């Protein structure tokens, strides 16, 4: 069968090689980490402090790749067990809460992997400080505060001109390398 346009596959291959070259040449402009205990998330002040810490680090709309991971790998079992007990809606609200998908790898290397341009908002959603019922997020403060575990949040900042497809490629590679417990791999 003929291609719809002569050279279509060859042209696509050239563009993919160009994308691969751009991704390989990209380096983060900064890398940061912060940590918190899951138990702290029951306190609204502690949740706000996490955002304050992020605000002091992330000062503009950089492109960001990030991961939440548990410092003690054995703590993933407690998170797996607690996930089934999460509330499906907020008190008085009939709309169901949307949570990050439970992927259940046998040996997760991360709790969640993501990317974006507004890390403070996204972390606020994941820890359960902000976010409407329609936003997919971990919402840890709603179900994981009885788990004695330390969460490390590692994030890498890239220049704001990073092409979204490059950002997605970096996130997908981190996802594949870390096999997170929650979320879904980006892309179609």
- 142: tokens are 């709603």
Determine how β-strand 30-37 pairs with β-strand 150-158: antiparallel
Strand arrangement, sheet containing 63-70? 30-37, 150-158, 63-70, 112-116
- Under DSSP, the state recorded for 60 is S
83 pLDDT higher than 60: yes
131: left (phi over 0), alpha (psi -120 to 50) or beta: left
More confident residue, 60 or 177: 177
Strands 112-116 and 63-70, by their bridges, are antiparallel
Per-residue pLDDT at 81 exceeds 80: yes
Structural domain contains residue 70: yes
- Residue 135 lies inside a defined structural domain of this protein: yes
Tens-digit pLDDT profile for residues 155-170: 999 998 888 999 999 9
Residue 35 lies in a domain: yes
Q: List the one residue out of 23, 53, 18, 17 whose CA is nearest residue 115.
A: 23
What domain range is 137 assigned to? 28-178
Tell me whether residue 9 is in a domain: no
DSSP state of 1: -
Q: Does some domain include residue 68?
A: yes
Tell whether 170 is covered by a domain.
Answer: yes
* Full-model pTM: 0.89
Task: Report if residue 14 sits inside a domain.
Answer: no
**What pLDDT score does 144 carry?**
96
What percentage of the chain reaches a pLDDT higher than 90? 51
Residue 80 lies in a domain: yes
Number of folded domains that form the chain:
1
Nearest C-alpha neighbor of 133 from the set 92, 77, 76, 83? 92
Opening angle at CA 184, ends 159 and 165, nearest 5: 30
185-147-144-50 Cα dihedral, nearest 10 degrees: -80
**How would DSSP label each residue in 67-102?**
EEEESSGGGHHHHHHHHTTS-SS-TT--SPPPB--B
pLDDT value at residue 152: 98
């Amino acid at each position: 069968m003929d291609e719809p346009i002569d050279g279509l596959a060859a042209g696509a291959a050239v563009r993919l090689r160009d994308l691969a070259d751009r991704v390989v040449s990209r380096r983060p402009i900064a890398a940061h980490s912060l940590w918190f205990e899951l138990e702290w998330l029951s306190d609204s002040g502690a949740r706000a402090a996490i955002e304050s810490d992020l605000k002091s680090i992330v000062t503009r709309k950089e492109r960001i790749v990030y991961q939440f991971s548990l410092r003690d790998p054995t703590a993933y079992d407690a998170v797996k067990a607690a996930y089934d007990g999460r509330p499906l809606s907020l008190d008085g609200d009939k709309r169901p809460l949307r949570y990050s998908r439970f992927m259940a790898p046998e040996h997760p290397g991360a709790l969640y992997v993501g990317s974006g341009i507004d890390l403070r908002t996204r972390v606020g959603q994941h820890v359960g400080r902000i976010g409407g019922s329609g936003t997919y997020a971990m919402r840890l403060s709603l179900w994981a505060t009885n788990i004695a575990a330390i969460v490390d949040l590692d994030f890498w900042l890239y220049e704001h001109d990073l092409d979204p497809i490059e950002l997605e490629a970096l996130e997908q590679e981190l996802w594949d390398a870390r096999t997170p417990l929650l979320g879904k791999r980006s892309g179609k």
